[in-house]
Amino acid sequence: MTASLSLQDARDISGDDGEVSEGQNGGAHDGTASTTWRLDGIVSELRRSRDVTHNIRQDGPSRRPPSRTALEAILNGLTEALFPRHYGQSDLHPDNIDDFVGNTLRDNLDALLEQVHRGALFVSEEPSSDRHFQDAVDLTRTFASRLPDIRGLLVSDLRAAFVGDPAATNFPEILIGYPGMTAIIHHRLAHVLYQLGAKLLARLVAEIAHTKTGIDIHPGANIGPSFFVDHGTGVVIGETAIIGERVRIYQAVTLGARHFPTDDTGRVVKGNPRHPIVEDDVVIYAGATILGRIVIGKGSTIGGNVWLTEDVPPNSFVAQATVRSKIKPA
């Protein structure tokens, strides 16, 4: 049986001998709870933290942030529009499939527009204006126009997964069942939002995928067609990584930064290229850690658990023993 803290226990801990009245659900009323937990002082200190000691707010009126819940619903809707018979309605007839796709897109692009607008206002230091809304309309319209290209890339990823995984028996299994496929669907959508300037929204989309799959791909990463993440848990791909065509990686692979340059004041310089470039037809096995702006040459294979901080020529095979052999004896 799980023990629970009673109201009397709470009074004993807090040193409050006053009476505690219970509501219908057994909880203390607000006034008594404030006394029990001595909230007046805590609330005051939190206000001081917000307003003075640890103030992180921008000046100006309060603005609503984008809704992660709404974004997740939008992602589901866009995925249904991209693959209507897999994620939408399996019984769609060829005569009405376009109607389904059109209606689904309309509803979800309307919803996306609101989130794009919210995101732009939330990070802007300028007063809200009609221009913000029109910019959001233009961005959302451009994003929508890119959806056919996104679908083409995703089909190339789907084919790469089928070719690269002997356990894969059909496309539907990969499309609706593989975490790597879920992650790349989210990334392809997030990357376009990132390119168009909706960076806050793009990060939220990436984090939704991260939560679902355990695969953490920054929306800024450039990933070529026919990309396959097998298993995938623990994969991390940094913002400035560039990945070529027909690249396959396995679980727990990191394409990360080796160090973070700082300016004259000691602040980290943002946006500099600091993640690896992985050329075409590279395979990176489980647990490999590849750091810094290095180049993994075309056609190379990187073995499991390798720690790599140097360029690799094309058509190389790098294993732990190969890396160790480069270390000079003391």
Same domain? 208 vs 68: yes
Same domain? 76 vs 210: yes
Q: Final residue of a domain: which of 153, 187, 215? A: 215
pLDDT reading at 245 higher than 60? yes
pLDDT the model gives residue 267: 83
Same domain? 100 vs 204: yes
Domain containing residue 276: CATH number: 2.160.10.10
For the stretch 76-117, pLDDT in tens is 999 999 999 888 676 778 888 999 999 999 999 999 999 999
Provide the pLDDT confidence category of residue 265 given band limits of 50, 70 and 90.
Answer: confident
226 part of a folded domain: no
pLDDT reading at 178 higher than 90? yes
Same domain? 200 vs 306: no
Same domain? 172 vs 261: no
Same domain? 85 vs 185: yes
pTM (global) more than 0.95: no
Segments forming the whole domain that contains residue 81? 64-215
Same domain? 263 vs 208: no
CB 32 within 8 A of CB 21: yes
Provide the pLDDT confidence category of residue 229 given band limits of 50, 70 and 90.
Answer: very high
Same domain? 167 vs 239: no
190 part of a folded domain: yes
pLDDT (mean) for 200-213: 98
121 part of a folded domain: yes
Number of H-type helices and E-type strands within the chain: 11, 14
Domain containing residue 100: CATH number: 1.10.3130.10
9 part of a folded domain: no
pLDDT reading at 324 higher than 70? no
Same domain? 304 vs 186: no
Give the range with max mean pLDDT: 38-52, 241-255, 309-323: 241-255
pLDDT the model gives residue 26: 47
Q: Which amino acid is at 296?
A: I
pLDDT the model gives residue 288: 98
Q: Give the chain's mean pLDDT.
A: 88
- Tokens 């204006």 belong to 129
24 part of a folded domain: no
Q: Final residue of a domain: which of 165, 181, 215? A: 215
Three-class secondary structure assignment of 101-145: HHHHHHHHHHHHHHHHHHHHHHHCCCCCCHHHHHHHHHHHHHHHH
Same domain? 195 vs 72: yes
Percentage above 90 pLDDT, the chain: 69
Same domain? 297 vs 259: yes
pLDDT (mean) for 263-275: 84
CB 100 within 8 A of CB 89: yes
Q: Final residue of a domain: which of 185, 215, 245? A: 215
32 part of a folded domain: no
12 part of a folded domain: no
pLDDT reading at 32 higher than 70? no
CB 135 within 8 A of CB 120: yes
Q: Which residues contact 106 (CB under 8 A, 6 or more apart)?
A: none
Same domain? 77 vs 210: yes
For the stretch 276-285, pLDDT in tens is 999 999 999 9
104 part of a folded domain: yes
pLDDT reading at 3 higher than 70? no
Number of separate domains in the chain: 2
